[in-house]
Amino acid sequence: MSVPYTRSGRARPRGGGLELTIWYLMRLTGIALFVFALTHYLIVHVIYDPAEQDASWIAQVRWSSTFWRAFDWSLLMLVLFHAFMGVRTVVVDYVKGRARLLVLTGLYLVAFVLFVLGTAVVLTLPVVPKG
């Protein structure tokens, strides 16, 4: 006895353009977020002893490396992009007319501000010498 195939999730948009691009990017960022989040979890909670981690450990070990700053920035940007594009999809599906334009404008403004703030934090935190 075979079980009928049922499809879940949002259907792929027909044609091309922006909606199809966002549809693919949501899937790609979802996979990337899984990999980045799992890597982050393994590093912070398995490889390094959580009992030894405090603010000074983060400043001396994690943030003293350009690689880890780039890793953390990438994780933050993936989360921001994925979250805001997900909210954008909901807004496009359920909000109509002028309200859609206003909500999307506000959404893009908040996303841009958080992008700038997140980037500024990662770039401007001082490097604490190990010692």
Residue 88 forms part of a structural domain:
yes
Which pLDDT belongs to residue 75? 94
Residue 34 forms part of a structural domain:
yes
CA pseudo-torsion sign 113, 114, 115, 116: positive
Residue 48 forms part of a structural domain:
yes
Can you give the CATH number for the domain in which 79 is found? 1.20.1300.10
Residue 61 forms part of a structural domain:
yes
Which pLDDT belongs to residue 110? 97
The model's pTM: 0.80
Residue 115 forms part of a structural domain:
yes
Name the residue range of residue 28's domain.
18-124
Tell me the C-alpha distance between 60 and 64, whole Å. 6
Contacts of 125 (CB under 8 A, 6+ apart): 59, 63
Residue 6 forms part of a structural domain:
no
Number of domains forming the structure of the chain: 1
pLDDT at 126 over 90: no
Which is more confidently placed, 120 or 4? Answer: 120
Q: Terminal CA-to-CA distance of the chain, rounded, Å?
A: 66
The DSSP 8-state label assigned to residue 14 in this structure reads S
Query: CB pairs under 8 A, 24+ apart, for 102-108?
Result: 108/84
